[in-house]
A and B are shown apart, each in its own frame.
Chain A
Amino acid sequence: MYSLRGWNPLAEASRRWFTLAAGVAVLALAVPWFQPGPYLLYAIDILIFILFAVSLNLLVGQTGMVSFGHAAYFAIGAYCAGILVVTAGWSMPWAFLAGPPVAAFAAFLVGLFCVRLTHAYFIMLTLAFAELIHAVVWKWREVTGGDDGLLGVQTMPPFDTPLGYYYLTLVSVTICLILLYSISRSPFGRICRAIKDNPRRVEFMGINVARHKLMAFVIAGFFAGVAGDLFVFFNRGAFQGIANWLTSAQGLVMVILGGPNYFAGPVVGAIVFKLLDSAVPKFTEYWLLVLGLILGATVLLMPNGIVGFLWGRRASRDGHG
């Protein structure tokens, strides 16, 4: 046979990934030792938004579906778990498990209407549904607490300390990222990227494109629900702001900043965004202006995001020997 046999990019790629992942894991496990206290809380927050951004990128970067309403599923996961604890008196583990499936179901219902649309129409309709869900969260005071927020979401030992909750978050997010990574490499993920590239051809390969997109939408909603879940127990409550379009937009910013064409893109994007988000306001009150400049510069100078920029440079350096 010809050269196909010896070619195994998978082994090559996974070796590189394994090294990287092991490094990150050691670092993540060690965070509490050299940075206890408030930084641990930052780390938890960052981890939650890493998961949120990566789940969004399953749609944006992989399937070419630019959802402007991803906050809805984050909020549904958060509020569902929170309400079950506060109102129904469930204990944390059960409420925690209930959040993501409910978020996925909501994504299924919304997706039924959205997945056949493309481009601006898809963006607008996902936004419209998300704002609808936001309005429900905001106005249905008896259930969600409305403006006052949903308060008193109790956790349980050992997760009621920052350290305990950090490890819960770290383990949950890591498991979810591994699952999402495997999805991105799976036949399902391959077809997602094929749909992004050329949906018509996928249709003519015998695939029901709308159904495939719906499935991606539901999976992304599920993992956003996990992130919301982690968020509500971390904050011991939920606030209507997490459901609004700004949260959706933040997710998109993280994806674009890091690089939508790379699995690690939104991970890096979320970290950079969150670090800027906490650092910049200390120096200036014009945080949004700074963010705008950074985003503009990123899009112009690094069209493939931070990861694309670094990866691309490395690739060309390798190319020169």
Chain B
Amino acid sequence: MDDTVIRTVNLCKDFGGLRAVDRVNLNVKRQEFRAIIGPNGAGKTTLFNLLTGYHRSSSGEIFFQEHNITRLPPHRVCRRGISRTFQITSIFQNFTAFENVQAAILAYEKRTIDLVVPAAGLFRERTGHLLEQVGLEGQAHKLASTLSHGDQKRLELALALAGQPQVLLLDEPTAGMAVKEKPPIVKLVSQVVKDKGLTAIMIEHDMDVVFSVAEKITVMHQGRVIAEGEPQAIRADEQVQAVYLGGEVHAEGRSPGG
């Protein structure tokens, strides 16, 4: 178990009478790239909300490096080293890209109760470096709301990375993007994850994306995990094909694990 970073035990979440997450036992190893797939309403995002403390679990436990984090609020979970991105890009629209990242670094460095020093002059080097890493150095002083969709996704990734996380939760990193825009983002994400030695858990609908980066896939359906394993195994799993993949995977011949 020493290699396990995130572990859930019989994790459940009820919304009224609906069980959105049902007895999920997740086990993610250090530096693993995990994909979570499943049809809409399968409970994937709810699972993320549980892992990050945004929702409180109805029952079950969550462990991060064998520390129980089940009842921690989001800001404490973040401090432990779990960052996330959202399906609907969550950035500061009224800040420039630079100010966005700078704010995230200020937060990580716990400088935010400083009332005196002008914020604009702090951590400029690091902010610039992080923007460079996600390929936004040319857009640094544009208002975030004026950035293209893809660049906003990059910016959100930078915000998540500013917290120097060990685990990165990515909720549909390519949601709403044109087919052409996707490969650069996917490449960036997998590059960053590899370079920084992160553990990544990604929710994704695009099977091309999933099979190009995931080392292991968890399939959810109606709140439950119905299958888990290496990409080839998932591709071959009949139950998975029945509820989700349909025939499309067979027709598609990309090699997994890239």
Tell which of A79-87, A95-103, A197-205 binds the partner. A197-205
Is A10 a contact of B112 with CB atoms below 8 Å? no
- Interface flag for B16 (CB, 8 Å): no
Is B159 a contact of A182 with CB atoms below 8 Å? no
Q: Which residues of B contact A (CB under 8 A)?
A: 52, 73-76, 78-79, 83-84, 90-95, 98-99, 102-104, 106-108, 111-122, 124, 128, 132, 137-138, 140-141, 159, 162-163
9 A-B contacts (beta carbon < 8 Å): A4-B137, A10-B118, A182-B115, A187-B122, A191-B107, A193-B92, A198-B91, A204-B83, A207-B107
Is B93 a contact of A198 with CB atoms below 8 Å? yes
Is A183 a contact of B121 with CB atoms below 8 Å? no
Is B119 a contact of A205 with CB atoms below 8 Å? no
Interchain CA distance A189-B102 in the complex, whole Å:
13
Query: Whose C-beta in chain A lies nearest to the C-beta of B106?
Result: A187
Is A204 a contact of B114 with CB atoms below 8 Å? no
Is A204 a contact of B119 with CB atoms below 8 Å? no
Q: How far is the CB of B72 from chain A (nearest CB, A)?
A: 11
Per-residue CB contact flags for chain A residues 179-223 toward chain B (1 = under 8 Å, else 0) read 000110111111101100110111111111100100100010000
Is B120 a contact of A206 with CB atoms below 8 Å? no
- Interface flag for A34 (CB, 8 Å): no
Most chain A C-beta atoms within 10 Å of own C-beta, residue among B83, B118, B128: B118
Interchain CA distance A1-B132 in the complex, whole Å:
10
Q: How far is the CB of B133 from chain A (nearest CB, A)?
A: 13
Is A200 a contact of B94 with CB atoms below 8 Å? no
Is B118 a contact of A204 with CB atoms below 8 Å? no
Per-residue CB contact flags for chain A residues 155-199 toward chain B (1 = under 8 Å, else 0) read 000000000000000000000000000110111111101100110
Q: How far is the CB of B41 from chain A (nearest CB, A)?
A: 22
Q: Which residues of A contact B (CB under 8 A)?
A: 1-4, 7, 9-10, 182-183, 185-191, 193-194, 197-198, 200-209, 212, 215, 219
Interchain CA distance A4-B101 in the complex, whole Å:
14
Which residues of chain B come closer than 8 Å to A200, judged between CB atoms? 90
Most chain B C-beta atoms within 10 Å of own C-beta, residue among A3, A198, A208: A198
Which residues of chain B come closer than 8 Å to A209, judged between CB atoms? 75
Which residues of chain A come closer than 8 Å to B163, judged between CB atoms? 205-206
Which residues of chain B come closer than 8 Å to A183, judged between CB atoms? 115
Which residues of chain B come closer than 8 Å to A197, judged between CB atoms? 92-95
Option from A10, A193, A194, A208 in Cβ contact (under 8 Å) with B120:
A10
Q: How far is the CB of B175 from chain A (nearest CB, A)?
A: 17
Is B111 a contact of A206 with CB atoms below 8 Å? no
Is A187 a contact of B91 with CB atoms below 8 Å? no
Is B116 a contact of A186 with CB atoms below 8 Å? yes
Query: Whose C-beta in chain A lies nearest to the C-beta of B78?
Result: A206
Which residues of chain B come closer than 8 Å to A207, judged between CB atoms? 75, 107, 112
Is B119 a contact of A190 with CB atoms below 8 Å? yes
Most chain B C-beta atoms within 10 Å of own C-beta, residue among A1, A190, A208, A212: A190
Interchain CA distance A251-B113 in the complex, whole Å:
26
Query: Taking A10-B120, A206-B79 as contacts, is the C-beta distance between A187 and B111 under 8 angstroms?
Result: yes
